[in-house]
Structure 1
Amino acid sequence: MDKNKVNVPKIRFPGFEGPWEQRELGEITECYSGGTPSVGNKAYYGGTIPFIRSGEINAYSTELFLTEEGFQNSSAKEVKVGDILYALYGATSGEVGISHINGAINQAILAIKPNSKYNSHFIAQWLRKQKVQIVNTYLQGGQGNLSGNIVKDLVISIPKNENEQQEIGTFFSNLDNLITLHQRKLEHLQDKKKGLLQKMFPKEGDKFPEVRFPGFTDSWKQSKLGDILSLENGFAFKSEFFQEENSTTIVLTPGNVAVGGGFQNDKGRYYNVAGTFPKQFIFNPGDIFVTMTDLTPSAQTLGFPAIVPNDGKEYLHNQRLGKIVSYDYNNLFLFYLLCTDNYHNYIVSTASGTTVKHTSPERILDYNCYIPRNDEQCKIASCFRRIDNLITLHQRKLDHLQQQKKGLLQQMFI
């Protein structure tokens, strides 16, 4: 096999040809990490020098600032706009950024400054592409820290032509900017929804919401959830019938509920239909269920609701989920009522357990809430459904762009 043909990417910009070269990263860059001034010396902090930590490598500002005295009396190192910042420690190990600010870095960050003829954006994108491999190779189970020497010894395939490096680096930088734009739009919609949930449902002890549609002025009626709906328990599906192979029969779990409410795919357990179970524990599309167990101490999803999708799959109702059966109320309104902070705070405050949090149908149904007339319920439900549709649209666009970038990284790099 022709070695030159092997060392070229599958996709290339027009006008570029010839094999790429392989170099150790330390040969084509200057790399150094920083340090942290003594935290006990107040004279070292509160100045004007941004102190960049590993969680801030892509940020436009920092939480901490150093004084000139703090910078000079420590091993903190200077970085400038455009320098590559590589996270070495902890949960952020392997993350890559291009500095947006001039500042100083601590020991958890490796600054990477390419030599002349080598492009920062190209190298940064290559490091992003290699992240999973680097973490799997050098960090056991994702735990531990990387080191500057590990990064310097990485072998990168890179075009000899500076213009090709720049073309590729610029292309992916523009794609990253587009992904960031969609991420911000998505976050804006999510924040808008969260704000409206606080304003369009009454605060605790109040019979009137802060924001209403025109024409509605009367007070909401106080009720317990148990007066307007009931919860049906699920089934204890036998673990021996769970399987790794894909199946269209899926046992839903608490993991299928998103923080704040909503359905999450790919969190259920595939089930072998050879395992018999009562047919009453098959969900119907549109059914609403709530979580009664949360594996996190903060109980981020406990009690929140989700709606069973209509996607051709058979979803099964397990024992740690409660299925809502409502009485003459708008089901979608009830769904958004169960997405409010007031409701979730109540569920968490009455939960049992420490490492794993539990609630029960009795606790959920004992929640005091306020309900408007049916026509106002429909208006509120329709408003939030439109917002959710927009959120779903932006999420799909974002997912598509991220998948597109992932595929292009594989084909435009070696």
Structure 2
Amino acid sequence: MTIVKISDSTPKLRFREFTIAWQQKKLSDIATFSKGSSLSKSDLSEEGHPCILYGELYTKYNEVITKVFSRTKSKDKKLVMGYKGDVLVPSSGETAIDIACASALEMNEIYLGGDLNIIRPQKNVNGAFLSYELNSARKKDLVRMAQGATVVHLYHSGLREVNLFLPEFKEQEKIASFFSLLDKRIEKQEEKIEQIKLFKKGMMQKIFSQKLRFKGDYEGEFPQWESKSLKSLGTTYTGLSGKTSKDFGVGTAKYITYMNVFANVKAQTTGVERVDLSDGKKQNQVVNGDILFTTSSETPEEVGMASYWGHNTESVYLNSFCFGYRLNTKGVIPEFLAYMLRSEGYRRNITILAQGSTRFNLSKTELLKMEVEIPSILEQEKIVSVLSNIDKKIEKEEEKLIGFIEQKKGLMQQMFI
């Protein structure tokens, strides 16, 4: 397959000390190609030699690999070793966009698993620069090179034909170093968010195990928490029923998506999509204050995730793979209950209720039997306030992270041809 030639030979944005035009080269002109060896998840161990599996390239690694997460004790003589400067590209995956990614090794002597293309650049080509270019200006070319239907592949024959634009080596190094600094800033921001999430997890564990209690007005003690069954506090209702694929993405009604429920303790108004309800069949509407649960998942740990709907939005419904829970008492704050049911102890209890083998489901009847510990309304309000403030901090830091990622994306579009 022929890649369209790009006429312009200089990027839009450039370090001012460099003026020499970039040279167009085929990937085959500046690198050699090989493949990893048969190394699978079953070969991984807690200790042993560092290794990389092909699937990790699009789940764990970005353009540059400075730390390896997996290890193996395999002594197979056919194992292939990767070295600093090598650029790794998956050779198979579920979609073309999945495998259209590259990662440059910044480490020596790393075992490389099967289904990995290894691109070894010449000495006048910086591996990190090559990785950044493949992930930006050449990403569409890699997508076009992918072949297959249910499983797609990237072969050496296709990679060899990819056209690149290369500046002089010093400019390659400076560009790679610049984007490496941006990546470190993104990584630090991700670590900051993770630390806040761990703090929140610890707080929730202490609060809902009652190891941490709050004081009332004038430093007085709040009453003891009371044990109640979910059945005594409210009733359940089902999500959308009788809908087919043609009913979704059209129509005037809205439904809350599965991922919106799964990912958020407070379901977001942005996580809704359209659905056609013109057939006149009665469906259950979601109202402000409802608790939403995921009904099924591939793992028991993901079943029964609770989310709170706190919006006064009309004609909103729930997806087919979730169910709703509506409180019948004013003695429980819905948001408090959502936080509680996402805490570690309650998550363990809900996970036990998941039934199935290849796919796990949660029975509404069994969930309603669960006992929950309910404090006074005033203590609930204090708990919600503390946890909501932590969530606002997380949201603010995540917005910063999105800004850093978008900035990097914009610069990559301007600094490569």
**TM bracket (short chain):** 0.7 to 0.9
| Mapped partners of 1:39, 1:172: distance in 2 | 31
| Mapped partners of 1:391, 1:382: distance in 2 | 14
Name the CA shift for 1:48/1:356 in 2 (closer, same or farther; >3 Å).
closer
Q: CA deviation at 1:124?
A: 0.9
CA deviations on 1:33-91 (whole Å, 9 max, x unpaired) are 34359999x9xx99975334343763624542569xx48x43422413x5433333447
**Counterpart check, 1:176 vs 2:178:** no
Which residue of structure 1 lines up, in the alignment, with residue 173 of structure 2?
A: 166
**Counterpart check, 1:114 vs 2:121:** yes
CA deviations on 1:329-353 (whole Å, 9 max, x unpaired) are 2222111012123333333433445
CA deviations on 1:65-118 (whole Å, 9 max, x unpaired) are 569xx48x43422413x5433333447744433334322323434443432332
Name the CA shift for 1:155/1:142 in 2 (closer, same or farther; >3 Å).
farther
| Mapped partners of 2:7, 2:88: distance in 1 | 32
Letter in 1 for 2:187: T
Q: CA deviation at 1:385?
A: 0.8
| Mapped partners of 1:352, 1:34: distance in 2 | 39
**Counterpart check, 1:252 vs 2:256:** yes
Letter in 1 for 2:171: E
Which residue of structure 1 lines up, in the alignment, with residue 387 of structure 2?
A: 384
Which residue of structure 2 lines up, in the alignment, with residue 206 of structure 1?
A: none
Does structure 1 retain, via aligned residues, the 8 Å contact 2:37–2:112?
A: yes
Which residue of structure 1 lines up, in the alignment, with residue 14 of structure 2?
A: 12
Which residue of structure 1 lines up, in the alignment, with residue 228 of structure 2?
A: 223
Which residue of structure 2 lines up, in the alignment, with residue 281 of structure 1?
A: 285
Name the CA shift for 1:24/1:236 in 2 (closer, same or farther; >3 Å).
same
Which residue of structure 2 lines up, in the alignment, with residue 366 of structure 1?
A: 369
Does structure 1 retain, via aligned residues, the 8 Å contact 2:266–2:310?
A: no
Letter in 1 for 2:344: D
| Matched position secondary structure for 1:335 | helix
Which residue of structure 2 lines up, in the alignment, with residue 341 of structure 1?
A: 344
Name the CA shift for 1:120/1:313 in 2 (closer, same or farther; >3 Å).
farther
TM-score of the two chains, using structure 2 as the length reference = 0.77
Q: Mapping of 1:186-201 within 5 angstroms? A: 186-201=193-208
RMSD: 3.9
CA deviations on 1:257-286 (whole Å, 9 max, x unpaired) are 2347443676543135766677972544xx
1:400 to 396, 400, 403: 403
| Mapped partners of 2:284, 2:108: distance in 1 | 62
Which residue of structure 1 lines up, in the alignment, with residue 102 of structure 2?
A: 96
| Mapped partners of 2:72, 2:333: distance in 1 | 52
Which residue of structure 2 lines up, in the alignment, with residue 105 of structure 1?
A: 111
Letter in 1 for 2:204: L
Matched residues, number: 394
**Counterpart check, 1:87 vs 2:117:** no
CA deviations on 1:216-265 (whole Å, 9 max, x unpaired) are 586432111122333344554755873546x8842113232234744367
| Mapped partners of 2:397, 2:41: distance in 1 | 42
Does structure 1 retain, via aligned residues, the 8 Å contact 2:264–2:307?
A: no
Between stretches 253-262 and 307-316, larger displacement belongs to: 307-316
Letter in 2 for 1:146: L
| Mapped partners of 1:360, 1:51: distance in 2 | 42
Which residue of structure 2 lines up, in the alignment, with residue 325 of structure 1?
A: 327
Which residue of structure 1 lines up, in the alignment, with residue 273 of structure 2?
A: 269
TM-score of the two chains, using structure 1 as the length reference = 0.78
Gaps of 5+ in 1: 203-208
Does structure 2 retain, via aligned residues, the 8 Å contact 1:292–1:360?
A: no
Which residue of structure 2 lines up, in the alignment, with residue 205 of structure 1?
A: none
Q: CA deviation at 1:298?
A: 0.6
Between stretches 8-17 and 401-410, larger displacement belongs to: 8-17
| Mapped partners of 1:312, 1:37: distance in 2 | 51
Letter in 2 for 1:199: K
**Counterpart check, 1:126 vs 2:133:** yes
| Mapped partners of 2:242, 2:48: distance in 1 | 60
| Matched position secondary structure for 1:291 | strand
Which residue of structure 1 lines up, in the alignment, with residue 29 of structure 2?
A: 27
Name the CA shift for 1:257/1:211 in 2 (closer, same or farther; >3 Å).
same
Q: CA deviation at 1:362?
A: 2.7
Does structure 2 retain, via aligned residues, the 8 Å contact 1:76–1:106?
A: yes
| Mapped partners of 1:301, 1:5: distance in 2 | 51
2:247 to 221, 228, 242: 242
Q: CA deviation at 1:407?
A: 3.1
Which residue of structure 2 lines up, in the alignment, with residue 303 of structure 1?
A: 304
